[in-house]
Amino acid sequence: MVAQSLASLLQRASIDDHEEVLQSCNAVLAKSKSDLKAQHIKVIALLKLDRYEEALKTFQSGGSALKQSAALEYAYASYKCGNLEQATEAVTQAAAGRGASHLEAQVRYRAEDFKRAAELYEQLSRDTTSHSHEINDLNINSWATDAQLQWKGEPEFVRHNRLSREDLESFETTYNAACLNIAKGEFKQAEVLLNRAQNICRTSEDLSPEDKAAELLPISVQQLYVLIQLGKLEEAEAVLKDISIDNISELSTKKIASNNIVLARQTAANPYILYKALHNTPDATKNDRLFDFQDRDIVGNSHAADLLVQKYDGVIRSTSRALSQRPTPSTDAATNLLSVYNAAAQARGQIGQKALSQIAPLLERRPTDLGLLLTVVQLYVGNGNTTSAITAIERTLRSLEESISETDQSVRFSPGLLSVLVSLYQLEGRKLQIRTTLAQAAAYWRSQPQAPASLIRAAAASLLHSEDRADLAAAGELFSTLHKQDADDRVSVAGYVASQATLNYAQVESQLDQLPSVSELIGDIDVSALESAGIAPSASSAAAAAAAFAGARKRAAGPDDRANKRVRKSRLPKDFDPAKKPDPERWLPIRDRSSYRPKGKKGKQRAAALTQGGPVSEKAEKAEESPAQQQKVGGSNAKKNKKKGKR
C-alpha cells in the first residue's frame, strides 16, 4: 500500500506543484512515520517552497538515517537557516559531486572561509566543457570571493586582476569587480565600474522591471558609499533619491544602506539625531547577517554615536561584555576596536594627558589587551613621549613571552605589533634593537607552517646591515626560505646573493644570472637630466644646509649694504640735503668724532687725560677718583696721623 502511494506521488510530482507533493508525503507519513523515501521527498518539497525551518525540523525528527540519505539537502537546509558549522560538516560528508562542490563553496563563502571557496570555484571552472551554462555564474562568484579576500586582508590569494570583455557585458561581474576596487581603496575606478553596472542593468532585456529595481538597489547603496569616500556629497544626495529603505528586503543590505544614508546627510551636527538614526534598523540574523568587516564598522559607528551623546557607562558595559566573550590576547581587528571604544568611554571625553591618566592604569590590569595597548601608545606618541610608548609595548611583549600558550606566542610575534615597535625604534635611532627584534621574530616564524613573508623579508633585510658573519648567514637562510616559497621573487635572490657574497662568493656566483643586469636597471634613466638636477642631499646634509641658510639670513650687514638700502622719508632728518655728502663719522658718538672740541676747563682736562700716549696728570687722576674713594683714604690717614693729647 505504501509503495503504491509513493508511486502515485512520484507520478503526480512536478516542479510547479510542490504543495501537492508535500500533502501526499504527509498522507504517507501519517500511515508510516519511518518511511525514509517519503521523508526525503517531503524535505525536497519543503526546500522548493523555501520553508527551510520546517525542512530542518523534518531532519531532526527523521534522525541520522535521513541525514545520511539526504546529506546534500540537510546541508542546504542548515545553510539557509544560518547553521554554518552544521552545514559545513554535512556537506563535507556528502557524496562527492559537482552539486556538493557548489554548495560547499556557498557555505564556505558565507562562513567567511574565502580561501577555500576560491579554491572550489577554481576547480569547478576547470571543467566547464559539459557545464557551459555554469560559466557565467562561476565567474560572478569568483569575482565576489576575490573581493571578500581583499577585504579580509588576504590579497595574496586574489586571482582576478583585469576585467575581460565578457566580464564587462554582465552587470553582476562588473559590480563585483567594483567591490574588489573598493576593497583595494581604488574608489575612482570603482565609481566608473558601478556606473557601468547600473547602465547595463537598466538596459537589460532579460530582467523584468521588478527584477531591475531589486538589482539596482545594492548598486545604488554601494555608489553612495563610494561617493562619500570621494567627498562628492552633492552627488551622494542625488543617489539618495534612488534608494528606498522600505523596498530593501535583506536586513543586512538595509542596515548598510541606513548607515550610509545617515552619514551622507551629515546629521552629526546634532549627535542625538545621529544616535537615533543609527539605531533605527534592526540587526540582521542567521544567513542574512553582516560579514565581519561590515559588522565591525557598523558596531564602531554605533559606539561612536553612543560616545557623542555621553553614554559612557553603557559603552563600558557593552564592550566589556563583548570582550569577555572573545579570546584574548587577539590580533582580530573587531576585538581590538572594542578595546579602543572601551578606553574612549573610560576617558569620558578627555584627550591628551588627561585621557592618558585615565587609560594608562587599565593597561597594568590588562597588559595583553592589544587594543588598549595601541590606544595608550597613540596617546604617548601624540604627547611626543616615544620612550614611554616603547616601554609600554616592551612590557606587553614580556607578559606574552611568559605565557606557554602557542596563541600568545603568535600574538607576541605578530607583524602588526612588531611593525609599531620597529617604527618607534626608528624614531629614536635604535638600530640594534630593530635588528634584534626582527631576528627574534624571524626565528619564531621559521618554525611555523605559515610564516608572514613581509616580516621575514624585513628581518632578512635588517640583518644585511650587520657586520657580524652570523647575522649575514642568518639573512642568507631567510632569503633562501623566501626563494623556496616564490621562485620568481627577485628580491629574495638579490638578498641571498648580497648576504653570501662576502662569505662564500663561489656559492652564489651561479645565481647572478637570475638578477637583472646593471644596463637593464638603468636603461630608462636620463643621465643628463640627473646631472643637471644635481645630487639630492641626504637628510643630515639637508638639515645642515637648512641651518646654514637660516644663519645666512641673520648675517651682519656689509659695508656697502647701508648705501644701497632705501631709507624711508620719515627717518630722514629735517635739514637733510641729498646733494650734500653726509658726514662719514655720523655713526660715532659725538665725543668720538674728530670734530669734537670739549668746552670748559674740566672738559679740556678730561679730553687730555683720555688722549692715548699723552702725559699723565696727577690732578686728573685725582679728579677721576670718586668722592667715596677720597673719603675712605682721607679718613684712614687722618686717623693714623692724629696726635695724642689730653682728653
Which CATH number fits the domain 1-95, given the four candidates 3.40.50.1820, 1.25.40.10, 3.30.70.980, 2.40.30.60?
A: 1.25.40.10
Output the DSSP codes for 384-437: T-HHHHHHHHHHHHHHHHT---HHHHHHHT-HHHHHHHHHHHHHTT-HHHHHHH
Query: Do the Cβ atoms of 409 and 444 come closer than 8 Å?
Result: yes
Per-residue pLDDT reduced to its tens digit, 80-137: 998 999 999 988 887 678 888 999 999 999 999 999 999 999 988 887 677 778 888 8
Region 65-86 average pLDDT: 90
Per-residue pLDDT reduced to its tens digit, 266-287: 655 688 888 888 887 777 777 7
Q: What is the Cα–Cα distance from 123 to 608, expressed in whole angstroms?
A: 114
Q: Which residue has the higher pLDDT, 556 or 372?
A: 372
- Cis ω before 559 (30° cut-off from 0): no
Helices (H) then strands (E): counts for the chain: 35, 0
The reported pTM is 0.66
Q: Which residue has the higher pLDDT, 13 or 115?
A: 115
Q: What is the Cα–Cα distance from 346 to 373, expressed in whole angstroms?
A: 14
Q: What is the Cα–Cα distance from 515 to 518, expressed in whole angstroms?
A: 9
The top-scoring range by mean pLDDT among 127-131, 424-428, 590-594 is: 424-428
Cell of 136: 557565467
The CATH architecture to which 326-429 belongs is Alpha Horseshoe (1.25)
DSSP conformation class of 479: H
DSSP conformation class of 25: H
Per-residue pLDDT reduced to its tens digit, 460-509: 777 777 777 777 777 777 777 776 666 666 676 777 677 766 666 666 66
Distances (CA, A) of 63 to 6, 78, 79, 564: 21, 15, 18, 106
**Cβ of 543: how many Cβ atoms within 10 Å?**
11
Query: Do the Cβ atoms of 220 and 242 come closer than 8 Å?
Result: yes
Flag whether pLDDT at 210 surpasses 80.
Answer: yes
List phi, psi (to 5°) of 58: -65, -40
Flag whether pLDDT at 553 surpasses 60.
Answer: no
